[in-house]
Structure 1
Amino acid sequence: MRHCFGVDIGGTTVKIGFFAQDGTLIDKWEIKSRTENGGENILPDITKSLNDYLTEKNLDKKRMMGIGVGIPGPVNKQGIVQQTANLGWGYKNIKAEFEELSGMKVRVENDANVAALGEMWKGGGDGYGNLVLITLGTGVGGGILVGGEAVVGEHGGGGEIGHMQVNPYEKEVCGCGRRGCLEQYASATGIARLTRRRLEKDDSPSTLRGGEISAKTVFDAMKEGDVVATEVVEEFGSYLGKAIETIAVIIDPHIVVIGGGVSKAGEILLDYVKKNFRKEAFFANKELKFSLAKLGNDAGIYGAAKLFIN
């Protein structure tokens, strides 16, 4: 049986999975992402880790199917990135460089796209080829699959759901330099921001006053009946529901899978998103399915491996 590696490169760590051709995850581990000096050590460090593993297990590199890679930034079909803020890379031909370093075939996709592939293959979207993954973490990421293939776009920017404009009246600037992006309302930091705004609006009693404000504390307070927290979650749901309405009339997916740290709030998060989505959804999209992601931090390595596993 042949094997492949699934590699998910992040700004803090690189997650690595070793997979059998039948899709079985055999081993997984992490190494540190050394992003200093323009990230010059990242690919050599990964190569060393893979070579050390192959040597330890007495495996022939020539029998490897290849290395699937997910990276945090827009990447085109040739495996080239123009910039990746979290890794320190500017223009970089990841595919060519990594193939030369490793001596193995390499395929590269955006990290959210490979996470979507992973969830379609082994997670919350199992069995659905037309899928949208929305990851709600520090930011908002997105991966769109049509017929099981990632929508990459001409410049690698397909599926950047977090930077859809959902509020043209926003005064504060998003991290991308624009205003009113979904990320400003539906990410963990966005939910905390909505909460602070709501608390400043009036003196309504809330258990959130004077304590830690995070996506978790907001959802926990809402579950306990806190009125202010409930209003914040409703606002969050309205922005995310609106964004999904727009995506649905363009892509018409089978299912939307929601992951990331915020999704740990559970099914109640889906309730608010579905409710707001169905208020204004186009009639042909109203039966869109929703699911929570199931693979957690392993979605990226599964999806990266899927780039080589049919």
Structure 2
Amino acid sequence: MKIGVDLGGTKVKAGIEFNGEIIHQNTVFLQEKESMSATLEQLFDLIRPLTQHPIGSIGIGVPSVVDVEKGIVYNVANIPSWEKVALRDILEEEFNIPVYVNNDANCFSLGEHRYGVAQHYNSVVGMTIGTGLGSGIIIDNQLYNGSNCGAGEIGLLPYREHNLEYYAGSNFFEAIHGTTALLVSNAALDGDKKALRLWQEFGVHLGFAIKAAMYTYDPEAIVLGGSIAKAYSFFEGGMREALEDFAYPETLKRIKILQSQNDDIALLGAAALVLQDAKVPVSSLR
């Protein structure tokens, strides 16, 4: 059994991976984020009850650049006190269990590849659509980190006067249109024409991000997750429209665009970091 942890800017989730499922899951909302010691204590308190079980390792996904070899996280999003935290060493000292640290979008992608809808593909791009647009890359059945754990940051590519994630994340609704994705989704469910047009427009922007991933990595599959991805049926049309001018028609026919089906997939991916580090063959997990 392995513990998976998903550290967000407002809350942290943790659970035990057992036979490809998450059990004994707990969540805590972060308090006193200006204090590194206070947030670490919250993290300890969340994990500690889970270590009463026979745990082999802890994997944790963090919204930041990560020194994967040393387990150090830098400038964690929305946690101002976490400018540089030797997270692996801190957790290993606290729990005396091997710890693996990586970017949260990478954990999402690894989880989908090992346990989710992308299990049967060798090359995958996972995209988490929420506050921003995070991406993780699987190449030849292995997570690709890049030199600084920054590979796959497609959302930060320049686009219009900002970048892709400004238009293909929550800012599209909040900063540009003065609303929220949830409100627009609820209105679309009621058939509101303006809401449906907004989702169509959002899908076009996301389509540009997907084209960037296709041109860069040429994956077999792209998996969409995160809170906004739950509105897939509303933005799929605009997304497909944006893909129509993709330069390679055969590639466009073959690409699989999938929707995440498991709310615990980031925890499963974090727990699987030990397998990634050990280069365990994917076939042995199926």
Please state which band the TM-score falls in when normalised by the shorter chain.
0.7 to 0.9
Q: How many residues align?
A: 272
Letter in 2 for 1:31: V
Partner deviation per Cα, 1:142-196 (whole Å, 9 max, x = no partner): 22221232222222222222212121xx2xxxxxxxxx21121111231344446
List aligned pairs for 1:53-64, cutoff 5 A: 53-55=50-52, 59-60=53-54, 64=55
1:69 to 2:60 alignment: yes
Provide structure 2 residue ranges, at least 5 long, that are not aligned to the other structure: 281-286
Instruction: Tell me, in whole angstroms, the C-alpha distance in 1 between the residues paired with 2:103 and 2:175.
Output: 27
Instruction: Tell me, in whole angstroms, the C-alpha distance in 1 between the residues paired with 2:203 and 2:23.
Output: 38
Instruction: Tell me, in whole angstroms, the C-alpha distance in 2 between the residues paired with 1:215 and 1:111.
Output: 21
1:185 to 2:178 alignment: no
CA contact (8 A) 2:21 2:268 kept: no
- Give the counterpart of 1:290 among 257, 264, 275: 257
1:25 equivalent in structure 2: 22
List aligned pairs for 1:1-310, cutoff 5 A: 3-20=1-18, 22-55=19-52, 59-60=53-54, 64-78=55-69, 79-87=71-79, 88-167=81-160, 170=161, 180-195=162-177, 213-219=179-185, 221=187, 224=191, 226=193, 228-286=194-252, 287-296=254-263, 298-309=264-275, 310=280
Larger Rg: 1
What displacement does 1:292 show? 1.1
CA contact (8 A) 1:118 1:300 kept: yes
| TM-score, length of structure 1 as denominator length | 0.79
Instruction: Tell me, in whole angstroms, the C-alpha distance in 2 between the residues paired with 1:194 and 1:53.
Output: 42
Partner deviation per Cα, 1:45-81 (whole Å, 9 max, x = no partner): 33344333334xxx45xxx321011011111222222
CA contact (8 A) 1:270 1:290 kept: no
Instruction: Tell me, in whole angstroms, the C-alpha distance in 2 between the residues paired with 1:267 and 1:292.
Output: 10
Instruction: Tell me, in whole angstroms, the C-alpha distance in 1 between the residues paired with 2:206 and 2:232.
Output: 16
CA contact (8 A) 1:249 1:285 kept: no
Report SS of the residue matched to 2:120. Answer: coil
Report the identity percentage: 29
What displacement does 1:214 show? 2.5
CA RMSD of aligned residues (A): 2.3
Partner deviation per Cα, 1:262-309 (whole Å, 9 max, x = no partner): 22223342232123113234335212111111112x122111111134
| TM-score, length of structure 2 as denominator length | 0.85
Q: For the structure 1 residues 241 and 266, does the alpha-carbon distance in structure 2 shift closer, same or farther, using more than 3 Å as the test?
A: closer
Report SS of the residue matched to 2:61. Answer: strand
CA contact (8 A) 2:6 2:14 kept: yes
Q: For the structure 1 residues 281 and 238, does the alpha-carbon distance in structure 2 shift closer, same or farther, using more than 3 Å as the test?
A: farther
Provide structure 1 residue ranges, at least 5 long, that are not aligned to the other structure: 171-179, 197-212
Q: For the structure 1 residues 194 and 284, does the alpha-carbon distance in structure 2 shift closer, same or farther, using more than 3 Å as the test?
A: farther
What displacement does 1:11 show? 2.0
Instruction: Tell me, in whole angstroms, the C-alpha distance in 1 between the residues paired with 2:244 and 2:269.
Output: 30
Instruction: Tell me, in whole angstroms, the C-alpha distance in 2 between the residues paired with 1:307 and 1:45.
Output: 22
2:284 equivalent in structure 1: none
Report SS of the residue matched to 2:112. Answer: helix
Q: For the structure 1 residues 30 and 215, does the alpha-carbon distance in structure 2 shift closer, same or farther, using more than 3 Å as the test?
A: closer
Q: Which has the higher strand share?
A: 2
Report SS of the residue matched to 1:187. Answer: coil
1:173 equivalent in structure 2: none
Report SS of the residue matched to 1:115. Answer: helix
Report SS of the residue matched to 1:118. Answer: helix
CA contact (8 A) 2:200 2:237 kept: no
CA contact (8 A) 2:188 2:234 kept: no
